[in-house]
Structure 1
Amino acid sequence: MAPFEGIGASVRRKEDFRFLQGRGAYTDDFNRQGQLHAWILRSPHAHARIRAVDTAKAAAMPGVVAVFTGADMARDNVGGLPCGWQIHNKDGSPMAEPPHPVLAQEKVRHVGDPVAVAIAATREQARDAAEAIVVDYEVLPAAATMEAAQKPGAPVIHDGVPNNLCYDWHIGDKAAVDAAFAGAKHVVTLDLVNNRLIPNAMEPRAALGEYDRTTGEYTLTTTSQNPHVIRLLMGANVLHIPESKLRVVAPDVGGGFGSKIYHYAEEAIVTWAAGKLARPVKWTADRSESFMSDAHGRDHVSHAELALDGNGKILGLRVSTQANMGAYLSTFAPCVPTYLYATLLAGVYTTPVIYCEVKAVFTNTVPVDAYRGAGRPEATFLLERLMDVAAQETGIDRIELRRRNFIPTDAFPYQTPVALQYDSGNYHATLDQALAAADWAGFEARRAEAAKRGKLRGIGCSTYLEACGIAPSAVVGSLGARAGLYEVGTIRVHPTGSVTVLTGAHSHGQGHETTFAQLVADKLGVPVAQVDIVHGDTAKVPFGMGTYGSRSLAVGGSAMMKAMDKIIAKGKRIAAHLMEASVDDIEFDRGTFRVAGTDRTKSLVDISVAAYVPHNYPIEELEPGLEETAFYDPKNFTYPGGCHIAEVEIDPETGKVAVVNFTAVDDVGRVINPMIVEGQVQGGVAQGIGQALLESCVYDANGQLLSGSMMDYTMPRADDLPPVGVATHTTLCTHNPLGVKGCGEVGAIGSPPAVINAVVDALRDYGVRTLDMPATPAKIWQIINGGRRMAAE
């Protein structure tokens, strides 16, 4: 008997066979006849006026075919890079939305801002030519931080944007929150910084533009998480190419984490240049270039206040956050610190009233957008740090304080005071399971043993919740989204019973070719090996929205399930005809159609052959063929949650923090492939530990990027990471057909506060109340040795 490959089976990732053998097909692997190479000249200044650009010397260099500037694009009426989400201010007025030129015109606004592009026969020749371009800059004062950007007399980054303020937004009932605080027994305040991060996917971004003079068609091959969105944004807003003449292909993509969602300047540059030159044009970033051209993540500064009664019950939460947008609005940047952050500030707690205001600020830095978790890690970090500080100040045990405030299991569906309604969850269960797995009760003995070795040991927990599968489209549209957030699935059953799935979701490491095939195996009874997944090509797949926000299964998988329901419904009608039975009497189970109560059956192959060779077929009722398409627009977000526990040990002589144990118990809804879920959680935890202890994007006062290479930006290595124990506790999502919630982001959401809570616990004898990320050895050493200036407090 063949092994079970359906929902719940740990099927090995079928795509890994080609990846591990070096047979993946990434954008930089594609080379076309007559191909040219592009190198982009980027601004060395954070803020400067462009007086003149002299390209004569560059254009005359060997192998150079063309040199283009922003003025060339302006002459062709190339539009600016669009923003995909609009936010309104407290007074209802729209946010400031300044132009974002593909190549800088008149001014540059951050180090790395594209100024010109050299195109040559080889990459080396293009680079040499770009370096020969002479730009006359008038260097201007820069505002590299939100504080500097809002000071009186601060540099004006965009004309017509007073105080460099993009928007001043709020949510919640301020009067009700003020009243709750007035009656509180305890008020806990906390100032937090959520440090700026630089995504570092294994594959740098790349783009290859092509133009066919005979058909007038453009093709862009790019490292994207959502090719249809790139086609829409670039075609309609930037290059003004009809969608019927623009194909966007995202082949194998080596990691994204959000940084490959957006429409970037380089994609427009190579596509436009390919049309101008009638030759393919390719650009591939080097790692240093990625540091100053890929959208950054996080970068919040917040003041938070928590009101509690005498029994430790939360009465209200008040938050004021400043969010860095960077120099321009990236594609989805405005929604991250608003609808993906403030709406999650209830977390897993029964907080009666919440008020949050968010000011988004332009600075002379790289644009900031969604990065793994996107707003939810920032909300979780704020809440979970507040809960530990509240426990410390009220004298209530930190686990007990959480328990007293959990949303009870019988309260679902639960309406929060900040718009969202949770459909299911069991926060007590995930906490209890994590406490047992981490041996929380035995920790003090381990602390004492560590002390004998001269080490400081601490333990911390984080009970978190996030929102995935962002939807429904009508709701997010009313909140400012400029696109629908549904997904599409096409199921094509071939005459011999093999299946091709076409999906608008996109894989960049998640294992879709396996997990999606498991859905088909479970539903239709087709072996995983006979299921092919097609994605990432706008010429093949109906319009879809790509992959981000842990939406692949919850939204994309649900679309597939709806399409398979249509396949089964049609198959029943064919089977009824073949077996001379009533359609109502036909049952279907994993590949077999049966007349109920009899041994008369037809296989899926029998049905598919009949559908494509309709010699005996209800042709008057049905069209031939066995292919169906369905779109799924979710009724609500999904809400994964769980508990993460970190245990750390600090060497007081060096200040180095070692995470010695990590436990993650997550409720991700129904688990399709346990092995893939475990890998996703472990990867997210690695990123979360990186943020908590190691990673930080640093600019100097002049806007120069100081952490602009792997030598300066500390990525976690294997020896920085502990064994990560992963387990799940399932409550099903109630509003999608799979019951799934999403697992791709949970590791990066729950882990940073768990680690920082553990570090603060280890330093409890030093009077540490809080600590900003990353908790570097220098910070820790200064705390231990009495120098507090680098600590948050």
Structure 2
Amino acid sequence: RFGKKVGAYPGYICAAVASIVTGKPVKWVEDRIENLTATSFARDYHMTTEIAATRDGRVTGLRVHVLADHGAFDACADPSKWPAGFFNIVTGSYDFPTAHLAVDGVYTNKAPGGVAYRCSFRVTEAAYCIERAMDILAQKLGMDPAELRLKNFIKPEQFPYHSALGWEYDSGNYGVAMRKAMETVKYAELRQEQAAMRAAFKRGETREIMGIGVSFFTEIVGAGPSKNCDILGIAMFDSCEIRMHPTGGGIARMGTKSQGQGHETTWAQIIATEIGIPADNIMVEEGNTDTAPYGLGTYGSRSTPVAGAAIAMAARKIRAKAQMIAAYKLEVHEDDLEFDIDGFRVKGLPEKYMSMKDICWAAYNSVPPGMEPGLEAVSYYDPPNMTYPFGAYICVMTIDVETGVYKVKRFYALNDCGTRINPMIIE
């Protein structure tokens, strides 16, 4: 689909129905020109924003109206999700006591629009909306835009935070992130340099002036809670099945499919951390709908928060059974054991130890009486909430006021990535 995500397009349905009717495999092949002709486009938003604030810069209210141009017709199923989506994250990282949002979807004579194209269901537009409004407010009040943001951030002690528009933010430390970004770029020195260039410009000594852009975002990702999300009526949980072999290796199957994110590495790393089997000994299998447990796929920054959690839960089920087997073999109560990297040790007697590799063999040969042989588990995870990562961006650029030629001198991005399962994947 050349980047378009999630929506069920007519071609998908027609190919499936044709295969059922004919009893033969039917493939739907679409080139780029056909895609551009028939597909939906990302967005056409007209946003009007009002902020109420005190003279010292404390925000007190937000009102936003959005006119969402949906084009001439619905090009995919579930069209109502895309014009509205998660735009009610529009309060962003700020502690607004009150807020009101209205989104009107309209049909026009344009190409159909509103799909999820390289954004998380209108989060991108919401972030732009509030950040641009905060910049304008800073200009109106004569305040530094970074200081205005720092003054209005949600405080760490307010989490979990219930926004005025109904979302529950799980965690965050916005002030620390913004200050770290400012310290890294030497923000105070940049403002001094900017003032010096402006003075030189007024004296006619240069044609260039300097701009410093500041922005902060809180994004809503990890699409999954059934209470909030579905795709074609199917709850957005995710799943994992892990089966350990007598040799100490294993295979893991998930409902996701890597698109270059490095799932194979990340998923194996989670399992290795949870049960102590080397990641190289874990075979990760994705994308085979004949064998994989049911899942809702890869999109909306949901793979690790939802599928990753399902993987960890399945691995913990395996570790729990492994502990019972180890207790039987070491002739102790299972509560007397502790997990130690790649096996179980008896508390206070570290020399009494059984590795996970040995436990895998025992699981198929000498389990406790009454226990089923084997070492495998399946887990389905329906998260209780979304996740709310955040970040600070600072951009420095110059522009020649006569020619309009600009140069980006510096760009600094600080992103909250949560728990780093595998740092190399992040890099």
**1:333, CA displacement in angstroms?**
3.8
Question: Structure 1 residue aligned with 2:32, among 273, 287, 295?
Answer: 287
Question: Structure 1 residue aligned with 2:63, among 312, 318, 323?
Answer: 318
**1:279, CA displacement in angstroms?**
4.4
Match in the other structure for 2:51? 306
- In structure 2, how many angstroms separate the alpha carbons of the residues matched to 1:629 and 1:617? 20
Given that residues 492 and 501 in structure 1 are in contact (C-alpha distance below 8 angstroms), is that contact kept between their aligned partners in structure 2? yes
1:335 matched to 2:88? The reply is: no
TM-score, normalization: structure 2? 0.91
1:440 is aligned with what amino acid? Y
- Counting only pairs closer than 5 Å after superposition, residues 565-644 of structure 1 correspond to structure 2 as 565-598=316-349, 599-612=351-364, 614=365, 616-620=366-370, 622-644=371-393
1:459 matched to 2:208? The reply is: no
Match in the other structure for 1:398? 145
Question: Structure 2 residue aligned with 1:432, among 179, 197, 220?
Answer: 179
Residues 638-693 of structure 1 show CA distances to partners (whole Å, capped at 9, x for unaligned) of: 11012111222334455344433211111222122233224xxxxxxxxxxxxxxx
Match in the other structure for 1:373? 120
Q: Return closer, same or farther for 1:470/1:270 CA change in 2, 3 Å cut-off.
A: closer
TM-score, normalization: structure 1? 0.50
1:268 is aligned with what amino acid? I
1:645 matched to 2:398? The reply is: no
Given that residues 350 and 406 in structure 1 are in contact (C-alpha distance below 8 angstroms), is that contact kept between their aligned partners in structure 2? yes
Given that residues 575 and 607 in structure 1 are in contact (C-alpha distance below 8 angstroms), is that contact kept between their aligned partners in structure 2? yes
Counting aligned pairs with the same residue, the percent is: 38
- Counting only pairs closer than 5 Å after superposition, residues 98-247 of structure 1 correspond to structure 2 as none
Given that residues 325 and 369 in structure 1 are in contact (C-alpha distance below 8 angstroms), is that contact kept between their aligned partners in structure 2? no
Q: Which stretches in structure 1 are left out of the alignment for 5+ residues?
A: 1-203, 206-255, 679-793
Q: Return closer, same or farther for 1:298/1:657 CA change in 2, 3 Å cut-off.
A: farther
Given that residues 5 and 116 in structure 2 are in contact (C-alpha distance below 8 angstroms), is that contact kept between their aligned partners in structure 1? no
Q: Return closer, same or farther for 1:277/1:455 CA change in 2, 3 Å cut-off.
A: farther
Given that residues 332 and 369 in structure 1 are in contact (C-alpha distance below 8 angstroms), is that contact kept between their aligned partners in structure 2? no
- In structure 1, how many angstroms separate the alpha carbons of the residues matched to 2:105 and 2:406? 33
Q: Return closer, same or farther for 1:526/1:637 CA change in 2, 3 Å cut-off.
A: same
Residues 202-239 of structure 1 show CA distances to partners (whole Å, capped at 9, x for unaligned) of: xx55xxxxxxxxxxxxxxxxxxxxxxxxxxxxxxxxxx
- In structure 2, how many angstroms separate the alpha carbons of the residues matched to 1:635 and 1:281? 39
- In structure 1, how many angstroms separate the alpha carbons of the residues matched to 2:35 and 2:422? 33
**1:260, CA displacement in angstroms?**
3.0
Q: Which stretches in structure 2 are left out of the alignment for 5+ residues?
A: none
Match in the other structure for 1:667? 416
2:313 is aligned with what amino acid? K
Given that residues 470 and 549 in structure 1 are in contact (C-alpha distance below 8 angstroms), is that contact kept between their aligned partners in structure 2? yes
Residues 105-130 of structure 1 show CA distances to partners (whole Å, capped at 9, x for unaligned) of: xxxxxxxxxxxxxxxxxxxxxxxxxx
Residues 748-788 of structure 1 show CA distances to partners (whole Å, capped at 9, x for unaligned) of: xxxxxxxxxxxxxxxxxxxxxxxxxxxxxxxxxxxxxxxxx
SS at match of 1:605: helix
SS at match of 1:292: helix
Residues 575-600 of structure 1 show CA distances to partners (whole Å, capped at 9, x for unaligned) of: 11111111111222222122222111
Given that residues 221 and 386 in structure 2 are in contact (C-alpha distance below 8 angstroms), is that contact kept between their aligned partners in structure 1? yes
Residues 25-59 of structure 1 show CA distances to partners (whole Å, capped at 9, x for unaligned) of: xxxxxxxxxxxxxxxxxxxxxxxxxxxxxxxxxxx
Question: Structure 2 residue aligned with 1:349, among 94, 114, 133?
Answer: 94
SS at match of 1:474: coil
Match in the other structure for 2:130? 383
SS at match of 2:6: coil
SS at match of 2:132: helix
Given that residues 77 and 232 in structure 2 are in contact (C-alpha distance below 8 angstroms), is that contact kept between their aligned partners in structure 1? no
1:421 matched to 2:168? The reply is: yes
1:377 is aligned with what amino acid? T
Given that residues 255 and 295 in structure 2 are in contact (C-alpha distance below 8 angstroms), is that contact kept between their aligned partners in structure 1? yes
1:436 is aligned with what amino acid? E
Given that residues 459 and 648 in structure 1 are in contact (C-alpha distance below 8 angstroms), is that contact kept between their aligned partners in structure 2? yes
**1:324, CA displacement in angstroms?**
2.2
**1:497, CA displacement in angstroms?**
1.3
1:262 matched to 2:7? The reply is: yes
Q: Return closer, same or farther for 1:438/1:481 CA change in 2, 3 Å cut-off.
A: farther
Q: Return closer, same or farther for 1:351/1:490 CA change in 2, 3 Å cut-off.
A: same
Question: Structure 2 residue aligned with 1:517, among 263, 268, 275?
Answer: 268
1:369 is aligned with what amino acid? V
**1:431, CA displacement in angstroms?**
0.2
Given that residues 328 and 362 in structure 1 are in contact (C-alpha distance below 8 angstroms), is that contact kept between their aligned partners in structure 2? no
SS at match of 2:18: helix
1:490 is aligned with what amino acid? E
SS at match of 1:488: strand
Match in the other structure for 1:66? none
**1:378, CA displacement in angstroms?**
0.8
